[in-house]
Amino acid sequence: MKKPRLMTPGPANVPEDVLLDLARPVIHHRTAEVKQAIAEVTEGLKQVFRTQHDVLILTASGTAAMEAAAVNTVPRGSKAIVLNAGWFAQRWLKVCQAYGINAVSLDFEWGQPVDPARVEQALAEHPDAVAVMGTLSETSTGTGHPVAEIGQIVARTPALFAVDGISGVGAMECHTDDWGIDLLCVGSQKALMLPPGLAFVSVSPKAWARIDAYPNPPCYYLDLKAARKKMADFDTPYTPAHTLILALRTALKRILAEGIEHVWARHRRMSEACQAGVTALGLELFSARPAEGLTAFRVPEGLKDSDIRGRLEQKFGITTIGGQDKLKGKIVRIGHMGYTDELDVIAGLAALEMVLDELGYDVEPGVAVAAAQRVLLNRNVTAAV
């Protein structure tokens, strides 16, 4: 028997009760029941995002939330500063390019965190920047960026701070309002424990002021003003993927029952345990500041990522993911976000030990597992829920 185990940084595992919600007969989307669900999930998302402001629901992938954040706030020819430290940060550049936004790319080595001092300097050099576009967790490198520090810097300027929190939010601490995030972009299929199909954007009053001062942004489906107008009545401008919204209610109940601080702590424990295990195997972590929803390690000399990942899949049913773009073949990424617990990480490490051993890599069986256990021992592993 090979039991499938999804260990990718999105899509991530979805709880069984959330999946069963998706098998319920379809109801109409313009009903009191769906409005009630939209009201509840909006409130729940606000708690998870730590915002008092608006959270809008889009029926789309997370990329569309990023595009909405850009296109509703930055006119053609205006300037945006992109904190470019990975494949997904580059998506901000591509969105800017599509709309003729003058993007100033602050380039950082992949795997290195964004340096807030450079952001401060760039804002001083470009006082006309309308937005700073960054990332909470760069999925392509497994790097968490210092969004709190960057947010404080951006908040002192007229620029908006738009953050791709797609693989970060729910896995890593994120205080949207306190950190000065004006537009937080999130996807459903990561730590929020749903399949893909929904995206969310939080919008601060500072962002709304900018959006309201921009009369005709080139968008229709992604028009945030249209979404705000309908959201006043817990509705959406176009047919929403409402079966996902109904399932999201169940997923959020789980997150809020566990407590978002406990959810963050669990992800911290899982990432530290995974990092410890990987390191104990003599593998090198790729990121200088690891994100908490995934762990990326360099493929060791003499081995192929396709062999490691292929054997994990074939022998143990574990799906991981490799590197993208210039990291193709160079790293392996193990996701541990959403509906994942500490023992899933232990299981993944045990499999990794066996696979590496078979591939001729020098492994002392149990070394990664033991290292992870040492991280977990004496910590409150069993959460309330």
- Could you say whether residue 90 binds a copy of itself (CB under 8 A)? no
Q: How far is CA 256 from CA 69, 104, 173, 189, 292, in A?
A: 26, 39, 14, 17, 19
- Could you say whether residue 340 binds a copy of itself (CB under 8 A)? no
Task: Tell me the β-bridge partners of 131.
Answer: 80, 160
- Could you say whether residue 365 binds a copy of itself (CB under 8 A)? no
- Could you say whether residue 31 binds a copy of itself (CB under 8 A)? yes
Which of 153, 321, 334, 372 touches a copy of itself by CB under 8 A? 321
Which C-beta is closer to a copy of itself: that of 113 or that of 165? 165
Nearest approach in angstroms of CB 218 to a copy of itself is 5
- Could you say whether residue 248 binds a copy of itself (CB under 8 A)? no
- Could you say whether residue 25 binds a copy of itself (CB under 8 A)? yes
Distance from C-alpha of 203 to C-alpha of 186, rounded to nearest angstrom: 12
Which C-beta is closer to a copy of itself: that of 176 or that of 236? 236
- Could you say whether residue 316 binds a copy of itself (CB under 8 A)? no
Which C-beta is closer to a copy of itself: that of 202 or that of 243? 243
Which C-beta is closer to a copy of itself: that of 37 or that of 222? 222
Nearest approach in angstroms of CB 31 to a copy of itself is 7
- Could you say whether residue 215 binds a copy of itself (CB under 8 A)? no
Which of 219, 354, 367, 381 touches a copy of itself by CB under 8 A? 219
SS (H, E, C) the chain: CCCCEECCCCCCCCCHHHHHHHCCCCCCCCCHHHHHHHHHHHHHHHHHHCCCCEEEEEECCHHHHHHHHHHCCCCCCCEEEEEECCHHHHHHHHHHHHCCCEEEEEECCCCCCCCHHHHHHHHHHCCCEEEEEEECEECCCCEECCHHHHHHHHHCCCCEEEEECCCCECCECCCCCCCCCCEEEEECCCCCCCCCCEEEEEECHHHHHHHHCCCCCCCCCCCHHHHHHHHCCCCCCCCCCHHHHHHHHHHHHHHHHHCHHHHHHHHHHHHHHHHHHHHHCCCCECCCCECCCEEEEECCCCCCHHHHHHHHHHHHCEECEECCHHHCCCEEEEECCCCCCHHHHHHHHHHHHHHHHHCCCCCCCCHHHHHHHHHHCCCCCCCCC
Q: How far is CA 286 from CA 112, 169, 196, 223, 325, in A?
A: 9, 21, 27, 38, 15
Number of residues that bind a copy of itself (CB under 8 A): 54
Which of 12, 48, 203, 351 touches a copy of itself by CB under 8 A? 12
Which of 178, 238, 365, 379 touches a copy of itself by CB under 8 A? 238
Count of residues in the chain: 385
Which C-beta is closer to a copy of itself: that of 66 or that of 372? 66
Nearest approach in angstroms of CB 223 to a copy of itself is 7
- Could you say whether residue 333 binds a copy of itself (CB under 8 A)? no
Which of 134, 144, 168, 240 touches a copy of itself by CB under 8 A? 240
333 is in an annotated binding site: yes
Binding string to a copy of itself for residues 47 to 66, with x set by CB under 8 A, is what? Answer: ------------xxxxxx--
Q: Sign of torsion, CA 353 357 361 364?
A: positive
Binding string to a copy of itself for residues 139 to 178, with x set by CB under 8 A, is what? Answer: ----------------------------------------
* Near a copy of itself in 91-150, by CB under 8 A: 94-95, 98-100
Nearest approach in angstroms of CB 373 to a copy of itself is 27
Indicate the annotated binding residues for substrate: 333
Indicate the annotated binding residues: 333
Which residues of the shown chain bind a copy of itself in the complex (CB under 8 A)? 4, 6, 8, 10-14, 19-20, 22-31, 59-64, 67, 94-95, 98-100, 187, 189, 195-197, 216, 218-223, 237-244, 319, 321
